[in-house]
Structure 1
């Protein structure tokens, strides 16, 4: 009994530490906005057009990073209430969003699959993974597999893949494989971090592996019953 109480106390302290750290980082990101805005305005008065263009580009990139960081730290989907929903239909809505843009995404899996979790968070997680497949590769595909103890969502493509040595590094916030590519596409390196955070909120995991023949597979494992009816992960 004492061991259980000690464990619960430790868990509570860890959660409090994480919450305080997240609040601090969000506050810092917010406070950076004002001086960055002033710098951006002063750039308009630089006479050297080439230097002005470069400085404006850099400040806009920094602004994008700050905005993304604030969204990441304040992500409301991490506090979303869990509910039962049709996971197959939810994935289809993600695919439909791309179909409206003329981008074909292949889906394979059961027509219906009821899952208990955070639908908005899972949709955003899947959209982040699919966005990478669409931006940097071709022939994007989503596969849904229903196992005995978990469901698996696989987002794959037929692109260049990622060097094996970088498969974990890409989950580090703001990490970039190719800075110029991310700058041109508008990414700041938080999509995969956010996606993994959501998978872990469900007691699951997100892993990347290279596909034989070329391409990348993002595999999300979501255990059945990992989130209890109060909306928190079992064992948390």
Structure 2
């Protein structure tokens, strides 16, 4: 269960599709149920009204028949009817109105009682009062208030008033003919209105809805997982292409749109691979072709008689050679031709600062507990070495801190130097731009470091500290895969 929850991410395409499918099922079932319930309830109300009116007419005929008999013959006729097998309902003459414990009100119950009372009021105009209600069989009183249905012989009323195992409510009508003379009639409504069930959705319908919804969501989940896999591989390949251009082509599978996207990606990767290869060959050719004329020009410069002209000529050649070497270094250092591997960042930082702290403590670092990250080891080491060298050289000392979160591994390097003017914080990343006045660099290091981190999906941000000095922050994503 926990593994399934980890697979289902709130913002993923699978989760959103499942949510949309669930919403569609709920809305569709809700609308269909509302329409079905409205129409079926209207038909059911009309049906129970007709059935109740029909029963009320029989009740009225029964009462009218017994009213036409002399009082002393009524019990005799009633006993004869019972001995012959009874009627469709139970009838008795009582000296008092019996207590009825009514069932909870429902729309069907009110519709039935309203129809019964309406017919009886029209048919029986010479009676003192009429009352009607529904009672549960367990609470039904017969003959007297202390006699219940369960107390009578089964042949008297059980076959007429019980319907196992449903035990539907029983309609009880009591009509006062005169003082201390009540006609008591109990009967079951005819099918299919025996239960007066007013439930919108029955348990069987709920189980069916749950099963059908679960089946639909399950099939949608597996379908989307199958369709999303090629998309995930495409996203992973696009992310890894920024660090390793020499990848095997992706398999073209899945929906037609995914096949088209994968084919376009494979073609794009081939074009980029050719472009990078052509660029490497171009710079290699430039390096080879420029070394010979520069050397030849140096030899010719030595033949100049003027020392001043010779010095200026050599200075121009030095600048030209430095620019060529810097361009080649920039190309060579930003090409990440190595595989991803697990890196113990604490160990790597210690290996970089160890030679810097050989004679005195210049770099302070406290390792933190963290899982190995996945990156290109030589490239990350090149970034750390470059930044720590700058911090020690121009900032005199450095403090390194590592922080981890779900999104980033952050390495912060603080130095004690003069910092960089605010307007030049971004300019220092441009090729050949240097703030230092010495000739011990080409102004390419920070740009190379940022390009390497961009290739890993990270970033490099430098800023001035409020207490003085420069802060360099390396952002490395922890979620790369080997």
Could you tell me the TM-score, scaled by structure 1's length?
Answer: 0.81
Residue 457 of structure 2 corresponds to which residue in structure 1?
A: 203
Give the superposition deviation at 1:15.
4.9
Cα distance in 2, alignment partners of residues 163 and 127 from structure 1: 23
Is 1:129 aligned to 2:383, yes or no? Answer: no
- The structural deviation recorded for 1:124 is 0.8
CA 1:12 to 1:145, structure 2 compared with 1: closer, same or farther past 3 Å? Answer: farther
Matched position secondary structure for 1:143: strand
- The one of 29, 33, 40 equivalent to 2:298 is 40
Aligned to 2:404: 146
CA gap 1:216/1:34 in 2 versus in 1, 3 angstroms? same
Q: Is the 8 A contact 2:362 2:396 kept in 1?
A: no
User: How much does 1:157 deviate?
Assistant: 1.3
CA offsets, 1:58-77, max 9 Å, x none? 42343233223223323386
Q: Give the superposition deviation at 1:21.
A: 3.5
Instruction: Answer yes or no: is 1:106 the counterpart of 2:364.
Output: yes
Tell me whether 205-214 or 63-72 shows the greater mean CA deviation: 63-72
Mapping 1:171-182, distance limit 5 Å: 171-177=429-435, 181=437
The SS at the match of 1:74 is helix
2:443 corresponds to: 189
1:124, 1:189 → 2: CA distance?
Answer: 15
Partner SS, residue 207 of structure 1: strand
For 1:75, the equivalent position in structure 2 comes to 333
- State the 1:50 CA deviation: 4.2
Q: How many residues align?
A: 224
> Where does the alignment leave 5 or more consecutive residues of structure 2 unmatched?
1-257
Q: Distance in 1 between matches of 2:293 and 2:463?
A: 41
Q: Residues 140-194 of structure 1, C-alpha deviation per residue, up to 9 Å, x if partnerless?
A: 222222222221122221222222222222212222335xx1xx24211111121
CA distance in structure 2 between the aligned counterparts of 1:171 and 1:26, rounded to whole angstroms: 24
Of 393, 418, 427, the residue aligned with 1:160 is 418
Name the residue aligned to 1:232: none
Per-residue CA deviation, residues 42-85 of structure 1 (Å, 9 max, x unaligned), is: 33333433443444344234323322322332338611111112
Contact 1:138/1:159 (CA < 8 Å) preserved in 2? yes
Report the TM-score when normalising by structure 2. 0.42
- SS of structure 2 residue aligned to 1:149: coil
- 2:334–2:452 contact (8 Å) kept in structure 1: no
State the alpha-carbon separation in 2 of the partners of residues 72 and 150 from structure 1: 26
User: 1:79 aligns to what SS in structure 2?
Assistant: coil
Aligned position for 1:96? 354
Q: Find the partner of 2:468 among 214, 224, 233.
A: 214
State how far apart, in whole Å, the 1-side matches of 2:474 and 2:464 are.
14
Verify the 8 A CA contact 1:88 1:113 in the aligned structure 2.
no
Which is bigger in relative contact order (C-alpha 8 A, separation at least 6)?
1
C-alpha distance in 2 between matches for 1:48 and 1:147: 64
Q: Does structure 1 residue 49 correspond to structure 2 residue 320?
A: no
In the alignment, what sits opposite 1:234? none
* SS class of match (2:336): helix
- Residues 134 and 42 of structure 1: is their aligned pair in 2 closer, same or farther, counting only changes over 3 Å? farther
Given that 2:416 and 2:469 are in contact with CA atoms closer than 8 Å, whether structure 1 keeps it comes out as: yes
> Structure 2: how far apart are the matches of 1:203 and 1:98?
29
2:354 matches 1:63: no
Q: Distance in 1 between matches of 2:273 and 2:335?
A: 17
| Pair 1:54–1:200, CA change in 2 (3 A) | same
Cα 1:40–1:134 shift into 2, 3 Å: farther
Specify the structure having the higher radius of gyration (Cα): 2
2:450 and 2:359 map into 1 onto residues whose CA distance is: 26
SS at match of 2:435: coil
